[in-house]
Amino acid sequence: MKRFPMLALGVGIAVATPISPSGSWQGWVSPALAAQDVSFDNITSAAGGVTLTIPHIEITGSSLSKDELQALMDGPWGISTADTLSKFDATAFVIPEIHIEVTATPVAGKDASTSESVVYRDIRIEDIKGGKGARLSAAGMSSDVKGPVALTASSGKILATDYDFAALARIAYAAATPGEAPKLISGPSSIENMHWSSSNAGEINIGRMSVGAVKARPLVTPLAETLATLKVLGEANKPMPPAAAAKLISLLADFYDAVAVDGMSASNITFKVPDPSFKNGSIQTIKLGSFANSRFDELGVEGLEVEASGGHVKLGRAALLGLDFKPLLSSLAQATRSGDLDGDTVKNLDWRNTVPHLDSFELGNLDASVPQGSSSQSLKLTSYSIKLSNYAGAIPTSLHSRLEKFVADAAFLKGQADELQQLGYKSVDLSSKADIAWDESAKALNLDEVSAQGPDMGSVLLKAKLGNVPRELFAGTPPQMQVAGLGVTLSEASLRLENTGLLDRIVARVAAAQKTTPDKLRAQWGTQAALGVPQLLGGSDSAKAVGNAIASFLAKPKTLFISLKSKDPNGLGVTDLMVGGMPNPTAILDKLDVKAVANQ
Find the mean pLDDT for residues 320-348: 81
Same domain for 170 and 69, yes or no, is: yes
In a domain, 384, yes or no: no
Same domain for 172 and 50, yes or no, is: yes
Torsion of CA 127, 86, 119, 76, to 10 degrees: 160
**Identity of the highest mean pLDDT range in 120-129, 220-229, 479-488, 533-542:** 120-129
pLDDT tops 50 at residue 13: no
Same domain for 335 and 460, yes or no, is: no
pLDDT tops 80 at residue 314: yes
In a domain, 572, yes or no: yes
pLDDT tops 50 at residue 167: yes
pLDDT tops 50 at residue 210: yes
CA distance 560 to 307: 46
Same domain for 358 and 254, yes or no, is: yes
User: What one-character DSSP code corresponds to residue 25?
Assistant: S
**Identity of the highest mean pLDDT range in 232-241, 316-325, 332-341:** 316-325
**pLDDT tens profile 263-311:** 999 999 999 988 888 889 999 999 999 999 999 999 999 999 999 888 8
Same domain for 31 and 138, yes or no, is: yes
**Mean pLDDT value across the chain:** 86
pLDDT tops 90 at residue 484: yes
The pLDDT score that the predictor gives to residue 576 is: 72
The pLDDT score that the predictor gives to residue 370 is: 87
The pLDDT score that the predictor gives to residue 22 is: 34
The rounded percent of the chain whose pLDDT value lies above 70 is 88
pLDDT tops 90 at residue 367: yes
| pTM of the entire predicted model | 0.85
Same domain for 105 and 151, yes or no, is: yes
Q: Which residue has the higher pLDDT, 344 or 331?
A: 331
The pLDDT score that the predictor gives to residue 28 is: 39
The pLDDT score that the predictor gives to residue 212 is: 97
Same domain for 342 and 405, yes or no, is: no
Same domain for 1 and 147, yes or no, is: yes
Same domain for 2 and 127, yes or no, is: yes
| Domain's final residue, options 372, 406, 423 | 372
Find the mean pLDDT for residues 126-143: 96
Find the mean pLDDT for residues 408-422: 81
Indicate the pLDDT class of residue 344, thresholds 50, 70 and 90.
Answer: confident
Indicate the pLDDT class of residue 10, thresholds 50, 70 and 90.
Answer: very low
In a domain, 231, yes or no: yes
Q: Which residue has the higher pLDDT, 387 or 348?
A: 387
The pLDDT score that the predictor gives to residue 528 is: 94
The pLDDT score that the predictor gives to residue 110 is: 56
In a domain, 191, yes or no: no
The pLDDT score that the predictor gives to residue 348 is: 75
- CA distances, 361 to each of 182, 380, 384 (Å): 29, 18, 8
Find the mean pLDDT for residues 400-412: 92
The pLDDT score that the predictor gives to residue 160 is: 96
pLDDT tops 80 at residue 533: yes
The pLDDT score that the predictor gives to residue 19 is: 31
The pLDDT score that the predictor gives to residue 18 is: 32
Our count of domains for the chain comes to 4
- CA distances, 305 to each of 52, 198, 408 (Å): 41, 21, 19
Same domain for 45 and 149, yes or no, is: yes
Find the mean pLDDT for residues 141-150: 89
In a domain, 71, yes or no: yes
- CA distances, 502 to each of 337, 498, 530 (Å): 60, 10, 22
Long-range contacts of 21-28 (CB under 8 A, 24+ apart): 21/45, 21/74, 22/46, 25/70, 25/73, 25/74, 26/70
Concatenating the DSSP letter of every residue in 136-205 gives EEESEEEEEEESSS-EEEEE--EEEEEEEHHHHHHHHHPPPPTTPPPEEEE--EEEEEEEEEETTTEEEE
Q: Dmax of the chain from CA atoms?
A: 109
Find the mean pLDDT for residues 550-566: 95
> In angstroms, what is the C-alpha Rg of the chain?
34
In a domain, 388, yes or no: no
Find the mean pLDDT for residues 125-131: 95
Least confident window among 30-34, 49-53, 166-170 = 30-34
**pLDDT tens profile 565-589:** 999 999 998 767 665 456 678 888 8
In a domain, 58, yes or no: yes
**Cβ–Cβ < 8 Å for 293, 258:** no
Same domain for 303 and 411, yes or no, is: no
In a domain, 474, yes or no: yes
| Domain's final residue, options 372, 388, 412 | 372
Same domain for 482 and 509, yes or no, is: no
| Domain's final residue, options 433, 463, 487 | 487
**Strand blocks (E) in 289-417:** 291-292, 295-308, 311-324, 357-372, 375-392, 395-409
The pLDDT score that the predictor gives to residue 578 is: 60
Residue closest to 401 by CA, chosen among 434, 428, 371, 430: 434
CA distance 168 to 277: 48
- CA distances, 25 to each of 29, 73, 88 (Å): 7, 9, 19
pLDDT tops 50 at residue 12: no
The pLDDT score that the predictor gives to residue 271 is: 94
Domain containing residue 549: 498-600
CA distance 409 to 208: 38
pLDDT tops 60 at residue 29: no
The pLDDT score that the predictor gives to residue 575 is: 67
The rounded percent of the chain whose pLDDT value lies above 90 is 62
